[in-house]
Structure 1
Amino acid sequence: MATTTRLARQIRTPEPSWTRHTGVVIVGAGAAGLSVAARLLGSQLPAVLVSRQTLAASATSWSLSQGTRWRTAEDIDAWVAQTGGLADRAAAQALLSRAPEVFAQLDSWADSFDTRHADPRQPAGTQLQRTLSAVVRTGAAAPASNLRIDTDRRAVDVLTDGGGHVAGLRVLGRDGLIGDYLAPVVVLASGGAGQLWSATTAPRSATGDGLAMALRAGAALRDLEFTHFAPTALAASARVHLPGEPLVELGAALRRAGARIVDDQGRPVLDELGPLDSVAEPVLAMAIHDARSARGGSGLFLDARGIGAQSWGLYPYLATARACREQGVDPVSAPLPIRPAAQSLVGGIAADADGETEVPGLFAAGEVSCTGALGAGGAADAQIAWALVSGISVGSKLSGAPLPSCGAPVARESEGCSPASTLPGIRTASEGALGLSREHERLRKASDFLARLPGDDDFGELGLTATNLRAVGAAMAAAAIARPETRGWHRRIDHPQSSPKWERTIRVACDASGTLHVTSSPVAS
């Protein structure tokens, strides 16, 4: 029998050293959080943007997507087909219809702040981050601005009042002090949980904080079993790759430019799939996973030497070339060892098209959120579009309505942190059970391992990371166990086919005692 998983409803911390009152707290300064903040500028709502690092450091900054396809409306039927038939049509239509307008606004901002000029030394997402940061910084610096920016603060928990309504946010500063923002609205835009896996292209800050906080506050997580993997990431040598350090993504642009997959003798591999630029990413990632497994976990390479030395020195390839050379491989002269790597979440905090969750006053935007628009997968570059559209949608919703009322924060049942020493075990369990290839017994063992981890350590930064990743891993394992089929980015080797009866959405939530529960319901058509 599987072990019951029980999570803390709140993290036990030292007493707050300071308290500040505001109207809206936005957590995260990537594309989603900055979009919320940009939309709130000039409104009557007092707001604080809380960033774990500086405004220049986010997963958005490393995105290779230029968002070209999103400047015109996508066909809804074609979109649903890409999402494993699991997309909520209304949510998907909202994404597709709003995207062109949002990207037009982004282009206008880029022109206004002169951030359009591409820097060939940086990924495409850097321009996007620079543009949004310029908008928000300028607005926050204006006289009598309604927006404040607080960097170097990590969110710890969403605070709630006696009725379960949002009452604020608890944070940890770089100085080690705990503080509370008291506010009736919190927007979680804190990104994903890529650090669950040892092989990931996600930044070190992708520790699942928003997902875990939402669970503890009473919100549900939706479709968390679906995780997007980069099919071709640089399989860096252990000599140069540190634990938790993101792998270099060798993106779709290289495959479109004619890069080939070869073995260690330079012989073509996986030619039966056809041209790489036309292969769906889940299919390609799983084929590479299986081929590497058959070779003992290595032996596959992306040969992009045909692009030519001159092209490797130009945008958009230069940033990738620089990153590869830092890892000890020169793409101009040698094939690049590859492996799939966890990249971003498809599921997230259950929310409606305007970002509202089941917890009054709690909103979610970007990768941390899920409306069902992406179904079981969606387009490879959907995360940037989703971050922008959902962020603008949340900001628009909040700016057009009065602030709700809330009471004083009331402590929920609290526990300490999982020991920092459990982090390697959490990653090992996730890598083995929650990767591209999943099977019931491995999932059950990982779930039991995560359920039994202690949670009685004193509060600390690494302990908070371990606690949050444990919570997200447990919820993801529960969702994966509950879906006995293969669909989109979820492949069960013990259930290799899709089943019409599982055209359903799966939700994981905590009850009042912190016990995880799983439910499912038909996808809205």
Structure 2
Amino acid sequence: MTKADVLIIGSGVAALQLAKRLRDDKNVIIITKSFLKNGNSNLAQGGIAAAIGKNDHPDSHFADTLEAGGFHNDRAAVLAVTKEAPDLIEELSEEGCRFDTDEQGGLLLGMEGAHSENRIVHGGGDATGRRIMEHLASAAAGKCTIFENTFVFDLIIDSSGRCIGAKGKNADGNIESFFANHVVLATGGCGQLYSHTSNAETVTGDGIALAYKAGAEIADMEFVQFHPTLLYLNGKTHGLISEAVRGDGGRLVTEAGVPIMEGVHPMGDLAPRHIVAQKIYDYLREGTSIYLDVSAIKNFAERFPTITALCEKNHVEWKSRIPVAPGSHFLMGGVKTDLIGRTSIKGLYAIGEAACTGLHGANRLASNSLLEGLFMGKKLSEWINEGRRDEVGIEFTEIRRPLSGCIRLPEIKDIKRTMMENTGIVRSEEGLLKQKRWLESFQLEEWLNADLGHLNFEEMTRAFMLITSWLITDSALKRTESRGGHFRSDHPCEKNHDWMGRQIIQKRNDQNEQIETAVAT
């Protein structure tokens, strides 16, 4: 048995920001099922969105976030995060985190899809996530104890319903119980549920499944963002091609060089991600390959060294056109929390992509993810630092039961294939019902209440992928409208992208009027 003040499950930007900012007298433990930097945060090519340009304002960032999110966002959450974004950038810079600068020494601000201004702060060109992770890991070093290669398979809930710890299994097969005043899920999203994805291999929805098994409220699971441009070769995706490439002048074209986004949306190639992804998907389904033409971008290799290396590794001649396809990228839903990170279970918190604060709405605005992790890690640290240091009791009610002998799990490859086919970019009632029946055929209720301690890492992963896949599919079936990252082909309204564009622009104009009125008063 190991005790701590704060137990953090996961090791991305949100987790390390929290650990770094906790008081030195706090006993902090980080548990990660792989290695500290093996996750989505380290892979993030995009930057951090912040309204720090001369002609920019947080209110504009606020409006862009609402528009990209299909106006499904929690406006208070959006307002709080967009207002604090410039300060978060300034704090990181003052701490020594190096961001890209222009010739005058000011921050170099890039453009990405659905943004109305250049406001994306990058580090190392397209290696922002790695640079921030290195900075945070260095700052957090010595402040916490790290358990790597330890798979958390259960949350410990006491007889009052409070979360007081978690159970983990290490690579040697040994099980250990960790107890803490504050248990934090920072496990990321669930991109690996799909066959085409930009996500790290570790991102399989574990934290969301853990929370659901424990009885926590889950929200907005139907909203899965598919990034429009992943490197695509021989029917497989091989890594992310950042949206910043289109922000710098990259254009989506057919093999014949015909632009595909003209007339689809007023912002063209920089339209919100779900619109671009759906358009590429339509072409691919008809057998037409799509490419990202980067010939207009000067010094591409210097501007995008990570993408250049990815293309060269896969023998792609990047100087002209890069073959692309959409893939799962980000989950807007997750464990429902407030802006501190508190869940519906006392003692349990969630931050980063595992959480659903309402910031992203139905579709995340580009480069708001690292921003959210930094914001939530900071806010939760402030709340914990101000709180009491109550000792955690170790009496709890064991609610898990052994599995029956006949219970089965689906294969990972089958989960990924069927989720892509039935609960992917384009969905229908028929496909969603088919997927839900298939997932439930694996005795889902048994897995929700079972003790998973006897399983190995791969089996635990399959169990959590099953649960999280069901949450997405069930939510997608219940939402019959099309909105943001959730597109129903059997809902007629959003089949016409021109109609969507007109509606978005009208809503944006209405929103701008409201903002101008608010600023004036």
Residues 234-274 of structure 1 show CA distances to partners (whole Å, capped at 9, x for unaligned) of: 11336xx6xxxx73211222112222222233343333336
Partner of 1:226: 223
Q: Which residues of 2 match residues 434-513 of structure 1 at below 5 A? A: 434-454=423-443, 459-497=455-493
Residues 201-253 of structure 1 show CA distances to partners (whole Å, capped at 9, x for unaligned) of: 00001011100000011101111111111111111336xx6xxxx73211222
Partner of 2:44: 63
1:129 to 1:102, Cα distance in 2 relative to 1, 3 A:
same
1:33 aligns with 2:15: yes
Counterparts of 1:415 and 1:445, CA distance in 2: 29
1:24 aligns with 2:9: no
1:120 to 1:381, Cα distance in 2 relative to 1, 3 A:
closer
Partner of 2:263: 272
TM-score, with length taken from structure 1 = 0.82
**Would the aligned equivalents of 2:179 and 2:394 in 1 still touch at CA under 8 Å?**
no
Match of residue 289, structure 2, among 274, 299, 307: 299
Counterparts of 2:179 and 2:51, CA distance in 1: 37
Partner of 1:521: none
Structure 1 residues 246-255 or 76-85, which shifts more?
76-85
1:149 to 1:305, Cα distance in 2 relative to 1, 3 A:
same
1:430 aligns with 2:419: yes
**Would the aligned equivalents of 1:155 and 1:169 in 2 still touch at CA under 8 Å?**
yes
Measured after TM superposition, the shift of residue 151 of structure 1 is: 2.1
1:290 aligns with 2:258: no
Partner of 2:71: 85
1:149 to 1:435, Cα distance in 2 relative to 1, 3 A:
same
Name the SS for the 1:414 alignment partner: coil
Measured after TM superposition, the shift of residue 148 of structure 1 is: 1.8
1:177 to 1:261, Cα distance in 2 relative to 1, 3 A:
same
1:119 to 1:78, Cα distance in 2 relative to 1, 3 A:
closer
Q: Which residues of 2 match residues 56-455 of structure 1 at below 5 A? A: 56-71=37-52, 73-75=58-60, 76-110=62-96, 123-137=127-141, 139-140=142-143, 147-237=144-234, 247-273=238-264, 276-295=268-287, 298-307=288-297, 311-315=299-303, 317-332=304-319, 334-404=320-390, 405-416=392-403, 422-454=411-443
Measured after TM superposition, the shift of residue 77 of structure 1 is: 4.4
Residues 75-129 of structure 1 show CA distances to partners (whole Å, capped at 9, x for unaligned) of: 4445333321111122222222232222222222225xx7989985962211111
Counterparts of 1:98 and 1:489, CA distance in 2: 26
1:231 to 1:415, Cα distance in 2 relative to 1, 3 A:
farther
**Would the aligned equivalents of 1:416 and 1:459 in 2 still touch at CA under 8 Å?**
no
Counterparts of 2:398 and 2:3, CA distance in 1: 18
Q: Which runs of 5+ in 2 are unaligned?
A: 102-121, 495-521
Counterparts of 1:275 and 1:91, CA distance in 2: 26
Partner of 1:7: none
Name the SS for the 1:480 alignment partner: helix
Name the SS for the 1:319 alignment partner: helix
* Partner AA of 1:284 in structure 2: V
Counterparts of 2:402 and 2:335, CA distance in 1: 22
Aligned residue pairs total: 458
Name the SS for the 1:159 alignment partner: strand
Residues 120-141 of structure 1 show CA distances to partners (whole Å, capped at 9, x for unaligned) of: 596221111111111101x42x
**Would the aligned equivalents of 1:109 and 1:135 in 2 still touch at CA under 8 Å?**
no
Residues 269-295 of structure 1 show CA distances to partners (whole Å, capped at 9, x for unaligned) of: 333336644322221111111121122
**Would the aligned equivalents of 1:115 and 1:130 in 2 still touch at CA under 8 Å?**
no
Name the SS for the 2:239 alignment partner: coil
Counterparts of 1:358 and 1:158, CA distance in 2: 14
Counterparts of 1:436 and 1:185, CA distance in 2: 37
**Would the aligned equivalents of 2:34 and 2:149 in 1 still touch at CA under 8 Å?**
yes
1:319 to 1:79, Cα distance in 2 relative to 1, 3 A:
closer
Name the SS for the 2:359 alignment partner: coil
**Would the aligned equivalents of 2:100 and 2:123 in 1 still touch at CA under 8 Å?**
no
Counterparts of 1:99 and 1:445, CA distance in 2: 42
Q: Which runs of 5+ in 1 are unaligned?
A: 1-18, 141-146, 499-525
* Partner AA of 2:169 in structure 1: L
* Partner AA of 1:152 in structure 2: N
**Would the aligned equivalents of 1:120 and 1:314 in 2 still touch at CA under 8 Å?**
no
* Partner AA of 1:36 in structure 2: L
* Partner AA of 2:244 in structure 1: A
Name the SS for the 1:449 alignment partner: helix
Counterparts of 1:257 and 1:119, CA distance in 2: 16
Measured after TM superposition, the shift of residue 487 of structure 1 is: 0.8
Measured after TM superposition, the shift of residue 421 of structure 1 is: 5.4
1:181 to 1:270, Cα distance in 2 relative to 1, 3 A:
same
* Partner AA of 2:154 in structure 1: D
* Partner AA of 1:480 in structure 2: A
Name the SS for the 1:470 alignment partner: helix
Residues 324-378 of structure 1 show CA distances to partners (whole Å, capped at 9, x for unaligned) of: 221221202x522211100011111000110000111000000000111211113
Counterparts of 2:258 and 2:82, CA distance in 1: 41
Counterparts of 1:424 and 1:74, CA distance in 2: 44
1:136 to 1:419, Cα distance in 2 relative to 1, 3 A:
farther
* Partner AA of 2:20 in structure 1: A
Name the SS for the 2:155 alignment partner: strand
1:207 to 1:415, Cα distance in 2 relative to 1, 3 A:
farther
**Would the aligned equivalents of 2:45 and 2:126 in 1 still touch at CA under 8 Å?**
no
* Partner AA of 2:345 in structure 1: V
Higher relative contact order (CA 8 A, sep 6+): 1
Partner of 2:108: none
1:403 to 1:419, Cα distance in 2 relative to 1, 3 A:
farther
Partner of 1:3: none
**Identity within the alignment, %:** 25
Residues 21-41 of structure 1 show CA distances to partners (whole Å, capped at 9, x for unaligned) of: 112100111100001101114
